[in-house]
Each structure stands twice: as C-alpha cells, then as structure tokens.
Amino acid sequence: MLHEILLGRSTLHGHFSASLAPVVTIDPGDSVRFQSLDALWHWDFEGRWSDQLDPELDAGHPLTGPIAVRGAAAGDTLVVRTDRLVPRDWGITLSGEDTQVRWALDNRAGTATADRGEQVRMAPFLGVIGVAPPNPGVHSTIPPRRFGGNIDCRELTVGSTLYLPVGVEGALLSAGDAHAAQGDGEVSGTAIECPLELAELTIDLRRDLDLQMPIARAGDRWIAFGFDEDLDVAADLALETMLDLLQRGRGIDRPRALALASVAVDLHVTQIVNGTKGVHAILADAALG
C-alpha cells in the first residue's frame, strides 16, 4: 500500500524523539510518498516555508514523519528502500558566513548548473533517514548515530536500501534533507541542498540481523557505516560492521574476514562536518569472488 504524507506543519519536525506521535502507521512492505523542504526549511529559494518554528524542537533539518511500522520492536532492523526522488528546480551550497552558490537543477538532463556556470551531475539522495533513539528527550538531527539520521552518504541514491537498527516500538522513521549532489566529506558543511517535489520510500522489517551500525545495499555494493566524534573510531566501527557482514555471508572467522577486507574493502570518509564524523566501508560484489 502507498501512503501519502502531505507537506504541513503537523507532518514536519526538526528533531528526533521517541515521544513524537506518528503521522501515519504502516504495515511492513508498504510505501510512503511525501514532499520535502531543504535543510534550511525552504520550499522556494526566498524565505522560509514557515515563520512558526520552535527554536528547540525545529532547530534541525525539517523531517517528514515520524512513520510508525506495525510490529517493529527494539532489536529489529528497519529496511528502507529509496524508490523515487524528484528535486525542485533549485538548490544552494553554503561556504562560511558570506558565500553561497545557487544551482539550477534540471531533472531531465540530470545536471546542476551553478550561478557562475559550473556544472555537476545530479545524484539525489536523502541526507537524513533515521529512526527514533530509545533514550528519552529531544535529540538533534545534526549528528548521525547508530539509529541513522544525518548520514549524508552520497551512495544512498534511488534504488539503494538502508538497514537501520530499531530502538523503539514502531521504529518511528523520519526522513528529509535532500541533496542533489555531494562529494564524500561534504567539506563545506553543505551539499547541493534542495527541496523535493516527490520522495517515495518502501519500508520493510527484518528480524534476522543484529546490527551495531547501519548498513546499506547500493547497486552492486555492500556498505557499512561508522559514526564517532573521532574519525579513527568511526573508521574502526565501519570496518567492524563490514567484518560482521563478511563473517555472516561467507561463514568465515574474524581473522580471515579482516585479511579479505584488507584487499577488497574501501574506506571512504562520508562526512567530517556534523560533529559526529562518518566513515563508510564499501565492498563491491566484483571485488571478492
């Protein structure tokens, strides 16, 4: 079943919390469709979408949700496939306090053209896909965590599937913060931030995974994530999660998984700008026969 979530004050929030009431409750295997503001709460380039924002509860990215999934419980894994993303015709990248680059987005051509003529290929993805942490209180949307959130991984384009540990009953999934294009690292602190005319996700549930960090499947690649304030620790966490995948998939011990990872797994810096840094480990199918 496809559920449509209308863009409205009651369906948007700027934080994660297990106490947020769901805007819709779906069954595993259902899909949701929604529109999305850019990271700064804009629909059009000029002016915020709303002047009625709470300085605490709406301090982060404008997220659609939460979406409750029937039967989801702590310890399960939420499976989120990105089916469609259609950016609006504009985006913006910020650098420091005074510099902004405005982009014209052409969905048909698949290109983003900057205000001084530079051009990049579009590869849209949702920067934030996450479930509510089990800890009580209000949680910022800015740092990624074990339960997902502001992952900012350029690999999570249309067709990719993200696997998130569930922390609370119903999972309480929220998503937003679309990027039309981004480099690994997101070094200025922003990508091409853009609103979406349409986003569509299919959401399922698994109980046969025990994830310490999120993982993803993107094209012919498995991806494992690690998040920490220390980039070295983030890299270790991404590698440990990838080793878990190798052990589970190939029925091998940890030392052999590490040896194979050393020749077949690539570590990428996801982003270094969200306080909690991100690293993702990539294992392409063709890299290891």
Which pLDDT tens digit goes with each residue over 178-205? 999 999 999 999 999 999 999 999 999 9
pTM score above 0.85: yes
Which pLDDT tens digit goes with each residue over 80-134? 999 999 999 999 999 988 899 999 999 999 999 999 999 999 999 999 999 999 9
12-45 b/e (C-beta count within 10 Å ≥ 16 → b): bbbbbbbebebbbebebebbbbbbbbbbebbbee
Distance, in Å, from the CA atom of 134 to the CA atom of 139, rounded to the nearest integer, reads 10
Provide the phi-psi class of 110: left if phi over 0, else alpha when psi is between -120 and 50, else beta.
Answer: left
Q: Domains in the chain, please, with CATH? A: 2-87+124-142+157-206 (2.60.120.580), 220-287 (3.10.28.20)
